[in-house]
Chains A and B, each alone.
Chain A
């Protein structure tokens, strides 16, 4: 039940904020803070209590919702969702605090939307029923649309419309795919259900599976975003209020990455391998193209937005490398990017509040005026370029090593992205904080509230850079679960006689993939059991 409470607390907070906002604008802020803190505390208690030992799911609840269609309210928590939820609530709190002075009109409705988005994101990270997943997936959209459309900057209407249409159009594709999967599964087994666990391992012709997978991919890749479909992102990020940009970059994009890990790889194990070269290519294209565009921007917020495209390229590259190292990198990257890019957006917001421009050509020499802000900016620019000791370094390194095993060329090309990142990150520091000052801006340094926020973010990114192990440990079983599913199927496809698979598995040296399987199985509590299962399943398939 605790998973439902997480969502209900946010929804209740949202409604309360709206109603109290009419009387006093402070109430919604406090209510949102309380609701998010309660959620954060609940979920943190879970980390402390039950981290080291879980098999499949930490919590798993399920009851009927629309039984006529086999739709159930199925929520479950594993290491991956746990990590993502902590990030969600942490950044949720940050976004409430940074909006404290920025949002002064319609405060109640603002926090209503904010909490509704966070409730949707929480739902996405927890749903194990595909219909429910789609429900939450769409639930995030409408409040985000309002957030951009009402509290955004000059071109907010166009940006919010673009955002909505892009995501909605791709959302409908995933919807069709979900329904198609539902019918394919129903026809072959007679059980019509949207339940993720039952839909896993649906046997279907490869071409069908590939088409269905493309629908899923469309939604996730638009959200992520991958390069040809990234058009909505710079506009939405630039026009959104700071809290909106923060949530967009740090959380909404992550739902796409989460979708890849949770749905694409386990549901379509062999088809995703077929797609992998294209996937990796898209990732590399995103890394380089995003970096190039980031470098070309003069609008600071747009610049940061394009760095997101670049950083998310690493995530796609990692996901389609199919090995444990890369997947660990992906998880760290999701968190590190959430924190570092979020922090950069916060910084841009703080600058905009003071000097009312986002044009970096008008800035320069701000370090003298605001040394603390400059230092924070420097730290997060360094994080963005992948300086060792900060979270992004671990992430990108792990992804590159993982990708190297899968595809040497792609990995080499992707590593060029690190150089590009250095260029645009240093440009931020150079143009904004150092350099000569053209205009004599009158500005204060960070206030106490802003210092607290920045300090929290700095601590988080440094901690992630120095001690990533707790995060890795938490997410590991979930990632291995995903990968095992993957390996089982691909091995059966590549090796006609499944008995031989056993022999090959015993010689780790012959195939880099095998070492991971052996390692994976030693982590897996019922490793041998699942292998025998997989073999029998393999025979069935053949």
Chain B
């Protein structure tokens, strides 16, 4: 490896070093604040190092890594999301005496797995990244060992994720059998010369699709989502919904675009069907939910359905739209889960819709952020979600994906119905539920999130400019 290789891997090295350091620190002195401060600083350093790497990209480290602006952009999004989740976790995790420091170790390992997905150029790194991410997530989901539904969620995720990984691995193996290579570029080259519709290749792609579909919680691989979202601690749910899905999305977009999968009729139909199913199933199942974490789980299924429409546009503009959508979705989701986190404690999760009754009159500040998040998820103007949906609709219409766009529109209305139900609850006359005091860090973070939702909703031009100028595949 050359010096330039190391330079380009700085963010990853920082993220990989941090958990080791934390482990050593814990063995010497168990101090929550020190570990917390160190984690935040490391994440900030990793984020800062992206700008340090930026001048020397694009750079390929054979055979595994490809570091370009696209991957750095995703890396940035992943790290910022991890940082926001860390901010929101402070009080919640602090109450878990004895194990609270280890939480941050696992946050780092999972973030490492996620960021590897952003730079993977090879099946090996793809699989390594996904496994690092998943194994860390098993632990995070079951982090509250004393709670039965947390353990249940962890085991459920463990079993299903293993099965899906097996599918993914088998799919990779089949493709390797067909082409004799696992590098994305080489596969594309091989596809030109071979028959792309041979049963071997098709079944390989289909199996990979199952694996990826599971990680993104697309219908019909979505069954785990509500249970895991409900059972996991609130900040971890936020983490799964954002970092984990965003990273898988990063590699899916790259793989799909390098492969020009949208030109393949079978893949096109399969993805359209999955997108439409995800939107409808996610939204319709969300309507009857009484538990907000489950509801957000279903809503995330629908949102991923909207997002994979972009795969079929087959243009760089589509990728840019998907990145804007992901950014807005991340901010919004972390905002919504952040509110739940701040109102929850280890003993009691504020997850029933009734828990939020009259929140606006008692805690106007976080109720506003929650309202903004929900309106943004519903895609109402003045919020980031509106511009994001608009962007996706624009690119979808441009590519002539009329049926998909119409389903998106119909689903927006269905979605609105259940988001409205929560908002109504927030503003109804208050009951006497007791609310915990809010932490300073949590308040500030929610403030930033609320403000970002508004800024991206009212003045998104600058971010779109940045994305359009720099990000392409």
Given the known interface contacts A68-B464, A142-B375, A149-B427, the answer about A135 and B381 at a Cβ–Cβ threshold of 8 Å is: yes
A64 on the interface (CB 8 Å rule)?
A: yes
The 8 A CB mask of B403-436 against A (1 = contact, 0 = none) is 0011001001100110011001001100000000
Question: How far is it, in angstroms, between the C-alpha of A164 and the C-alpha of B380 when the chains are bound?
Answer: 11
Query: Is there an interface contact between B416 and A66, defined as CB atoms closer than 8 Å?
Result: no
Query: Is there an interface contact between A134 and B398, defined as CB atoms closer than 8 Å?
Result: no
Query: Is there an interface contact between B461 and A68, defined as CB atoms closer than 8 Å?
Result: yes
A62 on the interface (CB 8 Å rule)?
A: no
A160 on the interface (CB 8 Å rule)?
A: yes
Query: Is there an interface contact between B428 and A66, defined as CB atoms closer than 8 Å?
Result: no
A375 on the interface (CB 8 Å rule)?
A: no
Partner of A157, one of B380, B428, B460: B428
Question: How far is it, in angstroms, between the C-alpha of A160 and the C-alpha of B421 when the chains are bound?
Answer: 11
Query: Is there an interface contact between B397 and A180, defined as CB atoms closer than 8 Å?
Result: yes
Q: Which chain B residue shows the least CB distance to A66?
A: B461
- A residues near B409, Cβ cutoff 8 Å: 172-173, 175-176
- B residues near A513, Cβ cutoff 8 Å: none
- B residues near A172, Cβ cutoff 8 Å: 409, 412-413
Question: How far is it, in angstroms, between the C-alpha of A71 and the C-alpha of B152 when the chains are bound?
Answer: 50
Query: Is there an interface contact between B424 and A149, defined as CB atoms closer than 8 Å?
Result: yes
Query: Is there an interface contact between A68 and B465, defined as CB atoms closer than 8 Å?
Result: yes
Q: State the interface size on chain B (CB cutoff 8 A).
A: 30
State the Cβ distance, A220 to closest chain B Cβ, in Å.
Answer: 18
Question: How far is it, in angstroms, between the C-alpha of A173 and the C-alpha of B406 when the chains are bound?
Answer: 10
Partner of B420, one of A134, A150, A161, A183: A161
B361 on the interface (CB 8 Å rule)?
A: yes
Q: Which chain A residue shows the least CB distance to B405?
A: A176
Query: Is there an interface contact between B424 and A66, defined as CB atoms closer than 8 Å?
Result: no
- A residues near B398, Cβ cutoff 8 Å: 183
Query: Is there an interface contact between A66 and B460, defined as CB atoms closer than 8 Å?
Result: yes
* Highest count of chain B CB atoms <10 Å: which of A68, A135, A179: A68
- B residues near A139, Cβ cutoff 8 Å: 381-382
Q: Which chain A residue shows the least CB distance to B364?
A: A109
Q: State the interface size on chain A (CB cutoff 8 A).
A: 31
Question: How far is it, in angstroms, between the C-alpha of A172 and the C-alpha of B420 when the chains are bound?
Answer: 16
What secondary structure prevails in chain B residues at the interface with A?
Answer: helix
State the Cβ distance, A332 to closest chain B Cβ, in Å.
Answer: 32
Given the known interface contacts A139-B381, A157-B428, A183-B398, the answer about A165 and B361 at a Cβ–Cβ threshold of 8 Å is: no
Q: Which chain A residue shows the least CB distance to B417?
A: A165
CB proximity to B under 8 Å, residues A120-135? 134-135
B394 on the interface (CB 8 Å rule)?
A: yes
A436 on the interface (CB 8 Å rule)?
A: no
A275 on the interface (CB 8 Å rule)?
A: no
State the Cβ distance, B388 to closest chain A Cβ, in Å.
Answer: 13
State the Cβ distance, A239 to closest chain B Cβ, in Å.
Answer: 13
State the Cβ distance, A257 to closest chain B Cβ, in Å.
Answer: 22
The 8 A CB mask of B8-19 against A (1 = contact, 0 = none) is 000000000000
B393 on the interface (CB 8 Å rule)?
A: yes
Question: How far is it, in angstroms, between the C-alpha of A161 and the C-alpha of B382 when the chains are bound?
Answer: 20
The 8 A CB mask of A156-184 against B (1 = contact, 0 = none) is 01001100110011001101100110010
The 8 A CB mask of A86-117 against B (1 = contact, 0 = none) is 00000000000000000000100000000000
Query: Is there an interface contact between B427 and A67, defined as CB atoms closer than 8 Å?
Result: no
A467 on the interface (CB 8 Å rule)?
A: no
Query: Is there an interface contact between B424 and A157, defined as CB atoms closer than 8 Å?
Result: yes
- A residues near B420, Cβ cutoff 8 Å: 145, 161, 164-165
- A residues near B460, Cβ cutoff 8 Å: 66
Question: How far is it, in angstroms, between the C-alpha of A169 and the C-alpha of B414 when the chains are bound?
Answer: 9
- B residues near A164, Cβ cutoff 8 Å: 416, 420
B468 on the interface (CB 8 Å rule)?
A: yes
Question: How far is it, in angstroms, between the C-alpha of A165 and the C-alpha of B415 when the chains are bound?
Answer: 10
A138 on the interface (CB 8 Å rule)?
A: yes
Partner of B397, one of A64, A138, A150, A179: A179
Partner of A67, one of B387, B417, B428, B461: B461
* Highest count of chain A CB atoms <10 Å: which of B381, B398, B461: B381
- A residues near B393, Cβ cutoff 8 Å: 175-176, 179
- A residues near B465, Cβ cutoff 8 Å: 67-68
Partner of A165, one of B380, B416, B461: B416
State the Cβ distance, B462 to closest chain A Cβ, in Å.
Answer: 9
- B residues near A161, Cβ cutoff 8 Å: 417, 420-421, 424
State the Cβ distance, B325 to closest chain A Cβ, in Å.
Answer: 15
Question: How far is it, in angstroms, between the C-alpha of A157 and the C-alpha of B426 when the chains are bound?
Answer: 12
Query: Is there an interface contact between B428 and A65, defined as CB atoms closer than 8 Å?
Result: no
Question: How far is it, in angstroms, between the C-alpha of A68 and the C-alpha of B324 when the chains are bound?
Answer: 13
Query: Is there an interface contact between A138 and B380, defined as CB atoms closer than 8 Å?
Result: yes
A441 on the interface (CB 8 Å rule)?
A: no
Given the known interface contacts A157-B424, A172-B412, the answer about A179 and B461 at a Cβ–Cβ threshold of 8 Å is: no
State the Cβ distance, B122 to closest chain A Cβ, in Å.
Answer: 34
CB proximity to A under 8 Å, residues B276-310? none
Question: How far is it, in angstroms, between the C-alpha of A139 and the C-alpha of B380 when the chains are bound?
Answer: 8
State the Cβ distance, A21 to closest chain B Cβ, in Å.
Answer: 11
Query: Is there an interface contact between B381 and A146, defined as CB atoms closer than 8 Å?
Result: no
Given the known interface contacts A146-B427, A172-B412, the answer about A179 and B361 at a Cβ–Cβ threshold of 8 Å is: no
- B residues near A57, Cβ cutoff 8 Å: none
Question: How far is it, in angstroms, between the C-alpha of A180 and the C-alpha of B413 when the chains are bound?
Answer: 19
- B residues near A146, Cβ cutoff 8 Å: 427
Question: How far is it, in angstroms, between the C-alpha of A161 and the C-alpha of B287 when the chains are bound?
Answer: 14
- B residues near A175, Cβ cutoff 8 Å: 390, 393, 409
Q: Which chain B residue shows the least CB distance to A71?
A: B461
State the Cβ distance, A132 to closest chain B Cβ, in Å.
Answer: 10
- A residues near B413, Cβ cutoff 8 Å: 165, 168-169, 172
Query: Is there an interface contact between B361 and A106, defined as CB atoms closer than 8 Å?
Result: yes
The 8 A CB mask of A273-293 against B (1 = contact, 0 = none) is 000000000000000000000
A428 on the interface (CB 8 Å rule)?
A: no
- B residues near A67, Cβ cutoff 8 Å: 461, 465
- A residues near B428, Cβ cutoff 8 Å: 157
The 8 A CB mask of A58-76 against B (1 = contact, 0 = none) is 0000001111110000000
- B residues near A85, Cβ cutoff 8 Å: none
Question: How far is it, in angstroms, between the C-alpha of A232 and the C-alpha of B412 when the chains are bound?
Answer: 19
A-B contact pairs, 10 of them (CB 8 A): A68-B461, A68-B464, A139-B382, A141-B380, A149-B424, A157-B424, A168-B416, A172-B413, A176-B405, A176-B409
Closest 10 pairs (CB-CB, A-B):
A138-B381, A66-B461, A169-B413, A68-B464, A135-B381, A172-B409, A150-B427, A157-B424, A179-B397, A168-B416
- Chain A positions within 8 Å of B, measured between CB atoms, are 64-69, 106, 134-135, 138-139, 141-142, 145-146, 149-150, 157, 160-161, 164-165, 168-169, 172-173, 175-176, 179-180, 183
Given contacts A169-B413, A176-B397, A180-B397, 13 further A-B contacts (CB under 8 A): A64-B461, A67-B465, A68-B465, A106-B361, A138-B382, A139-B381, A142-B380, A157-B424, A164-B416, A164-B420, A165-B420, A179-B390, A179-B393
